[in-house]
Amino acid sequence: MTCVECGAPLTVAGRGRRPRYCSRACQAKAYRARVAAGAVGSAVERRPADPESALAEDGIVATAVTVADAEGLAAASMRRVAAELGVGTMSLYRHVSGKDELVVRMVDAVLAEKPRPDPGLVGWRARAEAAARRDWGIYRAHPWVVKVFTSTRLSMTEQEMTDIEWILAAFGEEGLDIGTTYQLALLVSSYVNGVGMLLAGDVEAERESGESMAQWREARVPLVIERAASGAYPWFAQFIEHEVELPPFDDIFEFGLQRVLDGITPMVEAGRRD
């Protein structure tokens, strides 16, 4: 087995993910090649011609979002964003106090770009579905955002509070007490965040390894078939026998969302009667 970038021999461990590169240098070189070929969004494509104009037009946030979308949130450092804008790092500190504030503004920017659900929606389920699908759409476009939202300690910007208010109202206006309302809103949000973390993890794994999910599965199918044939894994054997494919993330999300809302329904109806 050889490195897909330079052809050097690879040492393959008995367990775990098979390597595709002999070094981080080859991995980075391959990633840069995919960026240049247009396979991955490049932050450089959005570099403005006039650096000072970019700063005045809040180009810091837009550039940071583009870097995070292409390479992950960790890559969107103050130094990196300044380099993309063609200015000194200290120039950014006239507009944002540091990485923490930059991330808050990045999140606000991506929340603002996604239209909020129709305020005319009637019924808790329709409203909860709309809120969940909006969040899922944001995670689809910007997978790094879910890592910011997977916390009970949000920054509580106006954008975030407006979104939380929407889902709270969906349950609270059904006559549920505020404690139950909060728990149900948190349940729906936690479900969306959970699937979002799966998505973000897959995006990150592909970016770091250069191996798509299909390639990853193909490389491991022979081992799974071999082990399933031993009789020790009867359910895996059925999985192989029926050639079950992992559904797309959108299908996984939608299936689970409906089951979560089905489970909530009796509690909402009981709350109305009380």
Tell me how far apart the alpha carbons of residues 71 and 65 are, in angstroms, rounded to a whole number: 10
pLDDT of residue 142: 97
pLDDT of residue 121: 87
- Within 10 Å of residue 192's Cβ, how many Cβ atoms? 23
pLDDT of residue 258: 98
SS3 157: coil
Question: Per-residue confidence of the chain (274 residues) as pLDDT tens digits?
Answer: 567 667 777 665 554 455 666 665 565 455 556 555 554 444 444 444 455 555 644 789 999 999 999 999 999 999 999 999 999 999 899 889 999 999 999 999 999 888 787 878 889 999 999 999 999 999 999 999 999 988 777 788 888 888 889 899 999 999 999 999 999 999 999 999 999 999 999 999 999 888 888 888 888 888 888 888 888 989 888 888 888 888 899 999 999 999 999 999 999 988 775 6
For residue 267, CA distances in Å to 93, 127, 172, 230, 274 come to: 50, 16, 12, 45, 11
The domains located in the chain, with CATH, are 118-210+244-274 (1.10.357.10)
- Give me the amino acid identity at 184: L
Q: Which long-range contacts (CB under 8 A, 24 or more apart) does 257-265 make?
A: 257/129, 257/132, 257/133, 257/191, 257/192, 260/187, 260/188, 260/191, 261/125, 261/128, 261/129, 261/188, 264/128, 264/184, 264/187, 264/188, 265/125
Q: Which residues pair with 94 in a beta bridge?
A: none
Tell me how far apart the alpha carbons of residues 267 and 35 are, in angstroms, rounded to a whole number: 49
- Give me the amino acid identity at 37: A
pLDDT of residue 113: 87
Residue 144 DSSP symbol: T
